[in-house]
Amino acid sequence: MLLSSFFAASLVALSSASQPPVVNSRAGIFHGRHLPTFHQDVYLGIKYAPKPERFAPAKLADDNSTTHLNATQYGVDCTGYGSDTNTLVSGGWTTLGEDCLHLNIIKPIVKKRKEKLPVLLWIYGGGWQQGATSDPSRYNLSYIVQQSSFNNKPVIGISINYRMAAFGFISSKEIDATGNQNLGLRDQRLAMQWVNRHISAFGGDPKKVTIWGESAGAYSVGDHINAYNGDAGGLFRAAVMESGVAVGAPLNGTDWYQHIYDNLTASVGCANATDTLQCIRDVPYDKIAPYGYVGLEWFHVRDGTFIPRHGQASLAQGRFAKIPIIVGTNTDEGFGVNGVDTDAQAIEQLTHSKRWNVNATVAGRMLKLYPNDPAVGAPYGWGNRTWPQYGAQYKRYTSIATDLTMFAPRRLMAESMSKYVEGVYSYRWDAPKFNNTPTTIGVNHFSEIPFVFGNPEQTITPLGNSIENMALSRLVGRMWASFAYDLDPNGHGVSGVPTWPQYSKIVSNFVFRADESYIEDDDDRVDSVAYINSLVR
């Protein structure tokens, strides 16, 4: 927005106490906020693209070096929720939800340093169906940026919004005919282009960008590594992937998505329209949004360009960006289902799940590779303990699901990329986010997030007041920032920590624990993981 009279008055009022930071760039004149507690300047809600046409690619925001822009507040989330609750309509959705392509820049104040700062760019997860940059409890980048400064390896933190669910990942024969698949991933790529073009004005180095994500965000990072046959376009030089890689998430095609598209058009009264795509483009956002965010069925699709083939094939053919990476999973990722009591029910779940996409032959082989023995099932390290309320084969099925979704693809990516590049680092996260209880079992999905972001005030995933937890948080935050700074996570400055070897040198994982981290051989479940990695999903 243009610098309003209200905002101008606010700047004048603040100037007596502290002068708000201002950046002059080709994109505009950005008025940000100073955070004295962190010794950082932040520029929030920067639009990298104007409101896009629904179900069509976004376009990079035009440059206008003379326009004043308020960069003091987070932008609206892509679901229609934002930091300004006054924008919400009575139904819970606002048309601003489609004008959501913003990014945030967190810059440490660094004196006597001439070189530009490396950039660590965060892509949130949430099943490609939920998430936002305006989540300061879980995804507050100030803490990890602060740790980078404490370690004398300062980085700029950036987080980006992108379209999700139907608005970012819809597919059908109607969509395919326009070539507009994977819009959420293309939004992310556009944000990277904005960063590449403008981050120098904020003190960042466009040649030293590390992209970083968790879950769907990590799968997104993997897609960018494989995109366009590995042509990164100079947009990033390294990547960090937590619980997600370049393979593993289903690449369900048009047949899978067509019924979802048809249900969406029927739900908003467009089923009988001559042009159903144009009809759902014209439906008011607050009418279509409740149907566009239903379910967790939204995945990337092969489109022949951005995603030219299965990720596994790209890795096997060496058609991916040859860059250093950190890649890892949590010990007990999960993603199983409750209520599996028999072999027949396990096969039914595997063959009909929207995530696994395997046939009966593969499902039968999986059951042979994963015996119904609680002592070897997930969550691991619990011996013969079972949770019958979740199903007689809960631990067996959870073990299968963990390996299909996360563990096996992680090993495949580490093995494949280390054949081509130096600087591949693999980890296993073995510190739970909460104390284990009957309802929170093992080191499951999302366990590492509160540690990595290091916010002691988190309310959703608290670290608590544990000295060990805070020490582990400081270690992993510094490792990630050190990797972004000089492509080596070992430059963290914390004593008593084993050196993290490159995967090409020693086939191993760095195991993160609150009591004592260590190095392990990456040899768990060799036969079953090898079988999973022989499949193309």
> What is the distance between the alpha carbons of residues 311 and 302, in angstroms, rounded to a whole number?
10
Residue 238 C-beta-side C-alpha neighbours within 13 Å: 26
SS (H, E, C) 67-78: CEEECCCCCCCC
Two structure tokens written together for 24: 């002059």
Q: Where are the beta strands (DSSP E) in 243-382?
A: 325-330
Does residue 55 contact residue 280 with C-beta atoms inside 8 Å? yes
Does residue 99 contact residue 74 with C-beta atoms inside 8 Å? no
In order of 156, 165, 432, 475, 479, the CA distances from 147 in angstroms are: 11, 34, 22, 9, 10
Q: Please give the torsion angle defined by the CA atoms of residues 332, 334, 338 and 341, in that order, rounded to the nearest 10 degrees.
A: -70
Does residue 453 contact residue 139 with C-beta atoms inside 8 Å? yes
User: Which H or E element spans position 210?
Assistant: strand 204-214
Catalytic residue among 25, 142, 215, 220: 215
Reported residue count of the chain is 537
Q: Please give the torsion angle defined by the CA atoms of residues 224, 230, 235 and 238, in that order, rounded to the nearest 10 degrees.
A: 80
> What is the distance between the alpha carbons of residues 321 and 344, in angstroms, rounded to a whole number?
42
Catalytic residue among 148, 333, 399, 448: 333
User: Which H or E element spans position 45?
Assistant: strand 40-47
215 is catalytic: yes
Does residue 508 contact residue 520 with C-beta atoms inside 8 Å? yes
Catalytic residue among 198, 300, 445, 492: 445
Phi, psi for 469 (deg, rounded to 5): -65, -45
Residue holding tokens 């149907």?
291
> What is the distance between the alpha carbons of residues 109 and 202, in angstroms, rounded to a whole number?
11
In order of 92, 164, 264, the CA distances from 268 in angstroms are: 17, 19, 7
Does residue 513 contact residue 430 with C-beta atoms inside 8 Å? yes
Phi, psi for 196 (deg, rounded to 5): -60, -35
DSSP 496-521: T------TTTS-EEEEE-SS--EEEE
SS (H, E, C) 303-340: CCCCCCCCHHHHHHHCCCCCCCEEEEEECCCCCCCCCC
What residues are labeled active site? Answer: 215, 333, 445
